[in-house]
Amino acid sequence: MSSTPPQAVRDAALLLRERRYAAARDLLQEHLAQTQASVQVLWLLGGACQELGDFDAARAAFAQLLQLDPRWVPARVALGELLARAGQIDAAERALRRALQDDPRFMRAALSLAQLLRHSGRGRDALPITQAAIAHSDDAALQLEHALALRTDQRDAEALALLQRIAAAHPRRADAAHYLALSLHGAGRYDAAIASAQRAMQLGLDDAETWGVLARALAAAHRLDEAEAAFHQGLQHDQDCAPLHEDYARLLWLRSGDLAHATAALDTALQRQPDHAALLALKAQLHGSAGDAQTAYALYARAAALPGAAAQLEVAAASAALKDVPARALAHARRAAARAPGLAQEALVQALLVRGELAEAAALLQRAQAARPDDQQLLALQAVLWRASGDARYRALYDYANVVRAWTLDTPPGWTSLDAYLDDLRATLRRLHILRGHPPDQSLRGGAQTMGDLARHDDPVIRAFFDHAIVGPLDRHLAVLGRGADALRRRNNGRWRVHSAWSVQLRAQGFHVDHVHPDGWLSSACYIDLPDAMGDAQPGVVGDDAQRAGWIRFGAVPLPLTPALPAEHYVRPAPGLLLLFPSYMWHGTVPFSGTRTRLTIAFDVLPG
């Protein structure tokens, strides 16, 4: 005699507890063939199918359950998680938000929604969700998600403090040690980050991602041989992991300046997966950095043409084609804009400017700036448009006499003179310059850049720079700049904070290509040591670069415009001089000759 329905449900539940998932599924399906569906049966069936990896059947069971009882929150959460797994991100988000609306205290809903948003690149959107959830839950996984959301919102100190509390309260949680290592690295505490990553591994988190965290911390701590070994070990766990390949190839390039050496592991991965879009894009970036623009474009274009390729690859292909084939660049930019308008705005504006289609560029810029009025890249392109079209507003935006100013560093406490301090700073920075190649994604050529955020460095000589030497000049600069309605002065509240900092050492014939700083408000160049062969032209706008070797120049637009827009303003460097200027202002440097190097510190500033 067949079991009654309640007994069938009890038997299936027992089978699930014994992890006999196939038997449980078969029993539940047999039961459903004989009687009307119930939420209990569909709930157990969905769980059994999920454990067996039959996600389509699991989704169907949970969807049918919700038709019977739309307020069964666990089923809606499970459905949302399955939709996310299937790549149906929008539907997953709707399901999880509905679940959280139906029961704000159901922590699994908050956790899964926060994870979904983070994995979709919207970690900041998760912050109000995790903030509300942790008010009535001390769940460690939820606390971790809140810490990661804080990091995305650039509330790094809060995130680090929370991660330290979680790791202390849950010393056996490998993921807490992993994320603590990430946060410690971001705070410039590289030795502590290394120790935390190693602890995560000791707790069982032996995967590519954690090896990557360890490798990056080792590299930042200048333990470069160990970093290379850690990257190599991570790639043994996941041979095609694009983030690991990116940072490994970057480290090899920075240490050697040898493109073939830097791309060896990457090329091996591409032999296995020749149509791996992320790896093709990485190889393209390295070729572009090495000056091989044609190969870079070919690789980007190939990646962009792959089925399902991200719109960002069309943007990259547009940028790579801009100099040599503007029409091709415009085609790539238009395709990207059709798929992701916000992502492609800058690339499309640049292509339109190069093609001379100023009216369309102006309309697009107006729409973009309405949404992002403080975007420094958009302001830089606005300057190009106004200058190319003869608009008088350009001179107010690029008012060199009033917004580009040179200041002398203050002598920090503990030094008798600025020269004495510069001697110590010079020696300290030289010890940090252990690389040879220039960063693939930065403006310098023929030189190298320090690793990590220099503003977080704990060396006392470097701390004196950020805590004392630049404070007075920056305060005075903001006071002289004043307040106003323009793009620069409207953000001046009299306070400031350093957003990021680095040091650059250029060799002979080294230079910076003309660029802007999209993440800043004010940018800087502080000169620590200079080559003997500095140009001796008189200040002003008349003359060519040959008279100004080693100088910084402003206004030269790197786009292949007709006619070209050359430099309009130059400043001659001097040791101890701190130059401050708007981050939206195009600037670069003139190459120099001789045997000595050009040593600088640069940093971006945001309103405090």
Cα torsion 503, 509, 512, 514 to 10°: value is 170
**Position 1 confidence tier, pLDDT thresholds 50, 70, 90:** very low
Amino acid code (one letter) for 425: L
**Position 570 confidence tier, pLDDT thresholds 50, 70, 90:** very high
CA–CA dist 289, 254 (Å, integer):
11
Domain limits for position 531: 402-607
Handedness of CA 46, 50, 52, 58 (dihedral sign): positive
- Flag whether 502 is in a domain: yes
- Flag whether 202 is in a domain: no
Please check whether residue 77 is in contact with residue 108, taking contact to mean a CB–CB distance below 8 angstroms: yes
Stretch 83-100: mean pLDDT: 92
pLDDT tens digits along 44-69: 999 999 999 999 999 999 999 999 99
How many structural domains is the chain composed of?
A: 1
Handedness of CA 476, 478, 483, 488 (dihedral sign): positive
- Flag whether 387 is in a domain: no
**Position 594 confidence tier, pLDDT thresholds 50, 70, 90:** confident
CA–CA dist 267, 295 (Å, integer):
14
Please check whether residue 69 is in contact with residue 100, taking contact to mean a CB–CB distance below 8 angstroms: no
CA–CA dist 333, 24 (Å, integer):
53
The pTM of this model reads: 0.80
Token pair belonging to 213:
């965290």
- Name the pairing type of β-strands 587-589 and 552-554: antiparallel
- Flag whether 78 is in a domain: no
Please check whether residue 387 is in contact with residue 444, taking contact to mean a CB–CB distance below 8 angstroms: no
CA–CA dist 333, 349 (Å, integer):
9
Stretch 20-29: mean pLDDT: 93
Amino acid code (one letter) for 63: A
**Has residue 542 got a pLDDT over 50?**
no
Stretch 251-259: mean pLDDT: 89
- Flag whether 358 is in a domain: no
CA–CA dist 576, 579 (Å, integer):
10
On the 0-12 / 13-18 / 19+ scale of CB atoms within 10 A, 204 is exposed
pLDDT tens digits along 110-141: 999 999 999 988 889 999 999 999 998 999 99
Q: Measuring CA to CA, which residue among 522, 502, 500 is closest to residue 582?
A: 522
Amino acid code (one letter) for 453: D
CA–CA dist 31, 376 (Å, integer):
64
pLDDT tens digits along 276-321: 999 999 999 999 988 888 999 999 999 999 998 899 999 999 999 9
Cβ partners under 8 Å of residue 77, min gap 6: 95, 96, 99, 106, 108, 109, 112
Instruction: Please report the pLDDT score of residue 565 as a whole number.
Output: 96
Token pair belonging to 401:
């006499």
| CATH classification at residue 567 | 2.60.120.620
**CA geometry: angle at 246 spanning 244 and 250, to 5°?**
120
- Flag whether 240 is in a domain: no
Please check whether residue 145 is in contact with residue 113, taking contact to mean a CB–CB distance below 8 angstroms: no
Q: Measuring CA to CA, which residue among 570, 585, 586, 594 is closest to residue 513?
A: 586
CA–CA dist 296, 285 (Å, integer):
6
- Flag whether 580 is in a domain: yes
- Flag whether 573 is in a domain: yes
Please check whether residue 123 is in contact with residue 151, taking contact to mean a CB–CB distance below 8 angstroms: yes
